[in-house]
Structure 1
Amino acid sequence: MKLSQFQFLLPKERLATEPTRWRDECRLMVIHKDTGEIEHKIFKDIIEYFGKGDTFVFNDTKVIPARLYGKKEKTGADIMVFLLRELNREQHLWDVIVDPARKIRIGNKLYFGDDQSLVAEVIDNTTSRGRTLRFLYDGPYEDFKEHLFSLGEIPVPKWIKDKITPEDTENYQTIYAAHEGAVAVPAAGLHFSRELFNRMILKDINKAFITEHMGIGQFRRVDVEDLSKHRMDSERLIINEETCRIINESKMNGHKVVAIGTTVLRGLETYITTTHEVKPYDGWTNKFIFPPYEFSVPDAVVSGFHLPESTMLMAVAAFGGFNNVMNGYQVALDEGYRFGPYGDAMLVL
C-alpha cells in the first residue's frame, strides 16, 4: 500500500469541535466487511450486534494535562511545553516538546505559572524539537505532580479547536480512564456512557481493559510513500493476566472480541502465541498495522473517523478491507458524518 492511497479531501467544517451532548448518541456507521454493506445507526445501538459472552476490550489510559505555557528566563519570551512522558520520577525528568524550539538551549531555565512558581531546566536536546527537562521542585513527589498538572491544560489538538474550555477536561477523557500517561485520548472509547455500560451488563457482554499510553506518534505525518518504510513511535503497553483470561476464554468459546479503537487493535496484536492467544505483556509497542494484515484476535473494531493519510485510518482499513473502509469514508463525507476525536463512530464487523 502507498501513502497516497489514503488521501481524501476533508473540509475543515467536517471536523467536530465539540462532542455530541450525550456520549452514546453520536452517529454510528456499521460496515460489514464480508459484504461491504453499510448501515447508519446511533452509537448506543452498538450492543444490538453483540450478545452474551462477547468481549469489548477498552484502553483505560488517562490523558494528562500535557500542554503548559511558560516563560523563558531573562528574555521572558512565551514558550509552550508539551509533556510527552515521564523519564525519571525521583529526578523529575520529562521528555517534552518545546515550541518555539529554535531559541531553547541546554541550561536554559523555563518558568511556569502566573507566579512563576514552577521552574524547569533544559538538560538535553534529543531531536530538533524534543528536549529533556528537569523540574526543580523540593517536596514530596505527589505534591510536585499535582502542582505540575494544575498548570497544564488538557491537550485537545489545536487542529480541532484553538481555545480549550473547562468542559474539555471531561469531554476529552473516557469515563473509564484509570492510569495516567496518555497525551492523546483513545477516541473510540469516548462514545461509551455509564448507561451503555449498564446495558452491556444486562446483555452479559464482557469488558476487558488494556493500558496503552497513547502518544502523539499516531498523529505524526507519515512522510514516506512506501508504508513499509514508516516507523511508529513506541507507546507503553500493559496487558494483565485477567484481561488475557477474559479475551482468550471468549475466543475459545466462539464469542466475538471487539477492539475499541486502534490503540487496542495494535495492543492486542503486539504479543500473541502461535495459537492466537493473547499473552500478558508489560513493555513497549511500535507496531504499525496497514493493509494487507492478517489479524489474530479481534472480530470487530470500533473507530472514529480519522484524518487523511493517518496511521489510524490505515489500521482500520487493514481490518475492514481497504475498499470497504475508504468507501465508508466517502459515504461519511456524503452523509454529513463528523470527523476527529469529537466526531462520529464506525463499527467494522
Structure 2
Amino acid sequence: MYQLSDYRFDLPDELIARHPEKNRTDSRLLHLERTTGARHHRHFSDLSGLLNKGDLLVVNNTSVIPARLIGHKESGGKVEVLILDYREGMAAMDREGTFSCRCLLKASKRVKPDTPIRFGEHFSAVVESFDQGIYRLRFECDGDFDRQLEAHGNMPLPPYIKRDADAFDKKTYQTVYAKNRGAVAAPTAGLHFTDELMETLKAKGVDIAELTLHVGYGTFEPVRVDDIRDHAIHTEWYEVSEETAHAVNTAKAQGRRVVAVGTTSVRTLEFASKEDGTLTSGAGPCDIFIYPGYRFKCVDAMVTNFHTPESTLLMLVSAFAGRDTIFTAYEEAVSQKYRFFSYGDAMFIG
C-alpha cells in the first residue's frame, strides 16, 4: 500500500488521449460505487442522473494561462520557456512594475544569466538567475503583459500528450467556468462540463460552489522514492471564499453530499477543513498529500479523470475508494478501451 510499485500498471499507448472529444460531454464515464466497488459504464452526459437534488458540486475555477513560450537568443538558438508561477509574476509586477517569476527553460545548453530571449518584436525576457534547475526570468514588453502572453504563448499541454498545442487547445484545455488566471495545468475533470450541463444540474437542484487551486507543473513531477510516505509533494496556491465555506458547511450540516470535481478540488477541500470537517475560508499554499490511510473529512463523492501510473493523483483516488477497488476499475477501463489522462474519459466515484 505504501510502496511506489503498488501504483504501477500497464497502459497501451493508444489509450492515451492526445485530443479531446469533439463534444465535451461525449466522453465516457465509469461510475464506481465507492462502498461496493460496483462499476457501471456511462457517458458524461449521464452525470445529472448520478447527482441528487441538494448535492453540492464544488469546482475549481482556476484558468490556465498560455504558459509555454518559444523564443530565441541573440545567437539565434531556440529556447522554450515554461512560466511556473504566474501569480508570483503578477505580484512582482505590482511591486516593481515588471513581470518576473520562476520558469523552466529548454535549450541546447544551459542558458546563462543576463541572456536575453526574444519572443516577438515587442516581447522578450532576460535570465536573472539559475538555481537547482529553475530559472528566474524578467519579462519586458510594450503594453499589457497579458495581451503579449496571449499573443505569443501556447497552452502548456502535459508531456504525455506528445504534440504541440494548437489554437483549439486554448479553448479545449480550459474549463467553461475558468475565471481566476494562474494555472499551468488544467483541472482536467472539469473539462467534461459544458454550460448546458451546468444549467441542467442547477435546474435539477444541484448546488454549485467554486474554489481556486492554481494547478502547478509539479502535478506532473514523478514520485522518486520507494516508500510513498517519504515523498515531498509540490505546493500550489489555493483560495476558498467565505461564500464557498458557508455552502459546504451548510451542506454537511444538512446531510447533503459534497461532490468534488477533480483531485484539485478534493485536495483544497481536505486541506482547508478542520478535523471535524468544517471548511474554513482563506488563501495560501496547499501542500496536502493524500494517500491510502488518509481519513476524508469533507468530500463525499468525486468526479475525476484516469491518472498516470505511480502518480500522487492515483494515490489520492486509491485513498478515497481503496487501492484494490481502483485498480480493478482501471483494469476494466483498459479492457473497455477508455481514454486516459488529461484529454481522456472520466470517473464518478460515489
TM-score with structure 2 setting the length:
0.95
Q: Indicate if the aligned counterparts of 1:94 and 1:132 stay in contact, CA closer than 8 A.
A: yes
Report % sequence identity.
37
- AA of the residue aligned to 1:78: K
For the residue of structure 2 that corresponds to 1:111, the secondary structure is strand
Aligned to 1:131: 135
Aligned to 2:13: 12
For the residue of structure 2 that corresponds to 1:159, the secondary structure is helix
Separation in structure 2 between the aligned mates of residue 274 and residue 312 of structure 1, nearest angstrom: 22
Aligned to 2:123: 118
Number of equivalences: 342
- AA of the residue aligned to 1:106: P
| Alignment map for 1:236-275 (pairs within 5 Å) | 236-275=237-276
Separation in structure 2 between the aligned mates of residue 47 and residue 332 of structure 1, nearest angstrom: 21
Aligned to 1:105: 112
Q: Deviations over 1:94-129 (max 9, x none)?
A: 21100027421111111112x3x322111111222x
- AA of the residue aligned to 1:110: I
For the residue of structure 1 that corresponds to 2:137, the secondary structure is strand
Q: Indicate if the aligned counterparts of 1:94 and 1:133 stay in contact, CA closer than 8 A.
A: yes
Aligned to 2:60: 59
For the residue of structure 2 that corresponds to 1:176, the secondary structure is coil
- AA of the residue aligned to 1:76: G
Separation in structure 2 between the aligned mates of residue 138 and residue 199 of structure 1, nearest angstrom: 44
Separation in structure 1 between the aligned mates of residue 297 and residue 189 of structure 2, nearest angstrom: 21
Q: Deviations over 1:44-91 (max 9, x none)?
A: 111212222110000000000000000112x21101000111331222
Aligned to 1:48: 49
Deviates more, 1:193-202 or 1:252-261: 193-202
Separation in structure 1 between the aligned mates of residue 7 and residue 275 of structure 2, nearest angstrom: 31
- AA of the residue aligned to 1:120: A
Shift of residue 336, structure 1, vs aligned partner: 0.6
Unpaired runs of at least 5, structure 1: none
Aligned to 1:308: 309
Q: Deviations over 1:274-307 (max 9, x none)?
A: 3211000210101111112110001001110111
Aligned to 1:96: 103
TM-score with structure 1 setting the length:
0.95
Aligned to 2:154: 153
Q: Indicate if the aligned counterparts of 1:179 and 1:211 stay in contact, CA closer than 8 A.
A: yes
Separation in structure 2 between the aligned mates of residue 281 and residue 168 of structure 1, nearest angstrom: 32
| Alignment map for 1:316-331 (pairs within 5 Å) | 316-331=317-332
For the residue of structure 1 that corresponds to 2:212, the secondary structure is strand
Q: Indicate if the aligned counterparts of 1:62 and 1:179 stay in contact, CA closer than 8 A.
A: yes
Shift of residue 158, structure 1, vs aligned partner: 3.5
Separation in structure 1 between the aligned mates of residue 117 and residue 19 of structure 2, nearest angstrom: 32
Separation in structure 1 between the aligned mates of residue 123 and residue 200 of structure 2, nearest angstrom: 46
Shift of residue 163, structure 1, vs aligned partner: 2.8
Aligned to 1:226: 227
Q: Deviations over 1:190-213 (max 9, x none)?
A: 111111111111111000000000
Separation in structure 1 between the aligned mates of residue 328 and residue 55 of structure 2, nearest angstrom: 28
For the residue of structure 1 that corresponds to 2:66, the secondary structure is coil
- List structure 1 segments (4+ residues) > 6 angstroms apart after TM superposition: none
* Cα 1:19–1:236 shift into 2, 3 Å: same
- AA of the residue aligned to 2:113: I
Separation in structure 2 between the aligned mates of residue 131 and residue 265 of structure 1, nearest angstrom: 31
For the residue of structure 2 that corresponds to 1:46, the secondary structure is helix
Shift of residue 342, structure 1, vs aligned partner: 0.9
For the residue of structure 2 that corresponds to 1:166, the secondary structure is coil
- AA of the residue aligned to 2:136: T
Q: Deviations over 1:201-252 (max 9, x none)?
A: 1111000000000011111011001111111111010000000111111111
Separation in structure 1 between the aligned mates of residue 149 and residue 57 of structure 2, nearest angstrom: 34
| Alignment map for 1:153-172 (pairs within 5 Å) | 153-172=154-173
Deviates more, 1:52-61 or 1:92-101: 92-101
For the residue of structure 1 that corresponds to 2:138, the secondary structure is strand
Q: Indicate if the aligned counterparts of 2:275 and 2:297 stay in contact, CA closer than 8 A.
A: no
Aligned to 2:85: 85
